[in-house]
Amino acid sequence: LQTRLQAGQGYGNTLSCVLAVYRNESVAGFFKGMSFPLASVAVYSSVVFGVFSNTQRLLSQLRYGDPSHTPALTDVALASMVAGFVSVGIGTPVDLVKIRLQMQTQPYIEANIKLKPTVPGFPVYRGPIHCFRTVLQKEGIAGIYRGVGAMLLRDVPGYCLYFIPYTFFCGRITPDGCISPNPSSIWLAGGIAGAISWGTATPMDVVKSRLQADGVYLNKYKGTLDCILQSYQNEGLKVFFRGITVNAVRGFPMSSAMFLGYELSLKAMKRDQTETNP
């Protein structure tokens, strides 16, 4: 839904998008392009959280001489920016394949000209591997990393608004006297952080989605700035808030589960280390 709302044509709102996808593509339409993200989500998440936590530990070591020292807010912000920067290297190709698979059935509308796949009724790409290989052959590495600038502008500040609110709310929600946050505090703080992060990242998410969807049939945008200018000139400021409801709503449960899994995994590993090395 997010991709269709941001880069597609003819969807008035979230409900109309849901009905249109179901009417035209049945339930399977809601799961297009998901195999590649599902296959890579474990690697992506472990890299993001691993870079974030290890950067925090390094900064605490340099600043206080103790890697386990509670990091300052500036350290959390810097670690978040590093995590966002590194995540783009993995996330850009994955998002591009997902978006191309989701958008290939959508007609390209420009100047009242409707372009469809070469063979009517058949998609451009047969699957994620075919999509990745086709883009790589036709557009090279630059094609695989199309939209990387917009993704950097989305993820670097986006992860700051992900980890900082989590740290803040987790500290506020956790009862006084508790050494570590309980699962309910983690779940709630993670959900709030996810909703904030994805909600505020929507404008650049729209630009990224449009750049990566561009190229299924024609290359309409020359780059990030050109996409921003064309989108604004053609559709006004409101275009940059397309899909904000979907982003904020999905951000809560997704981030709740992510942070809960992360924190419980850390606790389990620390407990194992303590039992192994009493």
Q: How far is CA 235 from CA 81, 205, 232, 240, 245, in A?
A: 31, 16, 5, 9, 19
Residue 109 main-chain phi, psi, to 5 deg = -115, 120
As given in the structure block, the two tokens for residue 109 are: 């509308």
Closest alpha carbon to 83 in 166, 141, 3: 166
* Residues paired with residue 115 on neighbouring β-strands, in sequence order: 108
Architecture (CATH level 2) of domain 147-277: Alpha/alpha barrel (1.50)
- What are the residues whose beta carbons fall under 8 Å from the beta carbon of 261, sequence distance 6 or more? none
Supply the DSSP symbol for 30: G
* Residues paired with residue 114 on neighbouring β-strands, in sequence order: 109
Residue written as tokens 């990393």? 145
Distance CA 146, CA 216 (A): 12
Entry pTM? 0.81
Q: Give pLDDT tens digits along the chain (278 positions).
A: 666 666 666 566 666 667 766 676 667 666 666 666 666 778 888 899 999 999 999 999 998 888 888 888 999 999 999 999 999 999 999 999 988 888 776 554 443 344 444 444 456 778 888 889 999 998 899 999 999 999 999 999 999 999 999 999 988 887 766 667 888 889 999 999 999 999 999 999 999 999 998 876 667 888 999 999 999 999 899 999 988 888 888 899 999 999 999 888 888 877 765 555 55
- What are the residues whose beta carbons fall under 8 Å from the beta carbon of 108, sequence distance 6 or more? 114, 115, 216, 217, 218
Are 68 and 179 a contacting pair, CB within 8 Å?
no
Summary count for the chain: helices (H), strands (E): 10, 2
Q: Is 174 helix (H, G, I), strand (E, B) or coil?
A: coil
As given in the structure block, the two tokens for residue 220 are: 């309409």
Residue written as tokens 């870079």? 51
Domain ranges of the chain: 33-145, 147-277
